[in-house]
Amino acid sequence: MTVRTRFAPSPTGYLHVGGARTALFSYLFARKHGGVFVLRIEDTDLERSTAASVNAILEGMAWLGLSWDEGPFFQTERFDRYNAVIDELIGKGLAYRCDCPKERIDTLREGQMARKEKPRYDGHCRHRDIPADRPHAVRFRNPDEGVVVVDDLIRGRIVFNNDELDDLVIRRTDGSPTYNLSVVVDDMDMGISHVIRGDDHINNTPRQINILRALGQEPPRYAHVPMILGDDGARLSKRHGAVSVIAYRDEGYLPEALLNYLVRLGWSHGDREIFSLDEMVELFDIDQVNKAASSFNTDKLLWLNQHYIQHADPQRIAHLLSPHMGRLGIDPSQGADLKDVVVAQQARAKTLVELAQISAFVYQDFDTYDEAAARKHLTAAAAPALGRAREALELLALEDWDADTLERTLEQVALGLGEKMGKVAQPLRVAVVGRAASPGIGVTLELVGKEATLRRIGRALGHIAGLGAAG
């Protein structure tokens, strides 16, 4: 049997990280078993589905690198097929028309709830002959007896009694097919062998199995993935921070870091933490996923992201960093090679946003100094070192403006002053960077360039002079 999985999001919003994890598990299972990964857009909710949401889903999947083999298929393009199946079920007596008004259904359910019974349709229209030209919905005739057994690949055996299941609506009064019918027909037509989805769908599973069997089909295998919780134990939502895949991209996370984090939410391979996508394919299997819900830990994701930034190809990081520099109003082509900046800084940042922020000094002057750094290092006592440094740096030719030469030049300045290197380097660093942390002083000055370095030293000396005047 060829393994065929599917990811079937509804385009009613962004691609949630919970959905991304489900997509990842489906992708990995298909790839591990030499199968096919299908992308299907379940857009039958015509009021809430939008083209923008479809684009957000496709963009998120592409950014994560989860390439699909077939699709994307859109349910709204398959209404004729769904209606043909519904008519087939009606013709076989396995579905029936229902014209019960909403008021009757509401009254029925209110009474059942008052009696502490499970709310369900009472089959009022099962034996009524309602003309097709009268306004009506269509209901599936659920079996009255027996059980539905689901051998879930994650949760184990789950048994449902048929007498607790509704005659669910499979076509609305407006003629549109419902979710449970559309999913069944799609999984049947697309030959889906394994359905991996969130555990919020568990109650849909017996209903879908009964429809499949009514159509003479053997159901796929099911695996229901536990939900993701926030750090407060509630289901992960916007109030916990970023939850959309694209938001994490925009906050400066790498796709491989997010994938690595998501695969570890409910699955493990010993104590190992770091997995490439190829390694995930090799090692992952769905029956190893934990039954319990997993809690989202942003600190752990940040740790992973920092690891991937530090160990990634600097050229690739430069490519990903460029738009974040642009959001700061910086054109990286106007200054040091961005790859060289990444080499100097990539061990210092947890996200690309942070990497852009701490690297902005290379390309643009700053308005203010870090207060504590300026108070400690831009003092009257530091003015001679800054002045001598400026004099020595002015004498360097542009072709000599490299990290090694700059380091040697400043060491000579310190030697001439009878001071340790730090007494020259730290005031100079604050003058040029605006804060007390940066790469080595030679690398820092090389990246900033001669003109901007001298300009900023002059500004720092003016700042010190201003302090003296104010005193």
Q: How many C-alpha atoms does 143 have within 13 Å on its Cβ side?
A: 16
- In angstroms, the Cα distances linking 165 to 210, 228, 386 are 10, 27, 81
- Give dist(CA 382, CA 388) in Å, integer: 10
- pLDDT for residue 425: 97
**pLDDT above 60 (res 471):** no
pLDDT at 468: 66
Nearest to 87 by CA among 143, 132, 24, 125: 132
Provide the mean pLDDT of the chain: 95
Q: Is the pLDDT of residue 90 over 70?
A: yes
DSSP conformational letter for 10 = -
pLDDT tens digits along 427-439: 999 999 999 999 9
pLDDT of residue 458: 97
What tens digit of pLDDT does each residue of 240-274 get? Answer: 666 899 999 999 999 999 999 999 999 999 999 99
Q: Give the per-residue pLDDT at 326.
A: 97
- Contact in structure between 96 and 126 (CB atoms under 8 Å): yes
- For 10, 14, 20, 109, 260, the CA distances from 58, given in Å and listed in that order, are 12, 10, 11, 40, 20
Q: State yes or no: pLDDT of 460 exceeds 90.
A: yes
Tens digit of each residue's pLDDT (9 = 90 or more) over 293-323: 999 999 999 999 999 999 999 999 999 999 9
Beta bridge partners of 394: none
d(CA 343, CA 314) in angstroms, rounded, equals 6
Task: Give 234's pLDDT tier (boundaries 50, 70, 90).
Answer: confident
Spatial separation of the C-alpha atoms in residues 7 and 220, rounded to whole Å: 14
Q: What are phi and psi of 287, to 5 degrees?
A: -75, 0
pLDDT the model gives residue 47? 80
Note the pLDDT of residue 353: 98
Strand 294-295 vs strand 228-229: parallel, antiparallel, or unpaired?
parallel
Question: What are the Cα distances from residue 382, in Å, to 114, 276, 427, 457?
Answer: 82, 49, 6, 12
Is 238 an active-site residue? yes
- Per-residue pLDDT band for 176 (boundaries 50, 70, 90) equals very high
pLDDT class for 239, splitting at 50, 70, 90? low
Q: Residue 77: how many CB atoms within 10 A of its CB?
A: 10
Which structure tokens are listed for 202?
A: 């568990």
Which contacts (CB < 8 Å, 24+ apart) does range 201-205 have? 202/155, 202/158, 204/179, 204/180, 205/148, 205/150, 205/158
- What one-letter code names the amino acid at 415? L
> Which residue has 């916990």 as its token pair?
240
Which residue in 92, 118, 238, 291 is the catalytic one?
238
Please identify which residue in the block is written with the tokens 């349910």. Answer: 75
pLDDT at residue 12, rounded to an integer: 87
Q: Is the pLDDT assigned to residue 400 strictly greater than 80?
A: yes
The residue among 240 and 282 whose pLDDT is bigger is 282
CA distance 36 to 27: 8
pLDDT tens sequence across 22-46? 999 999 999 999 999 999 999 988 7
What is the mean pLDDT of the segment spanning 174-186?
A: 95
The β-bridge relationship of strands 95-98 and 137-140 is antiparallel
What does pTM read for this prediction? 0.92
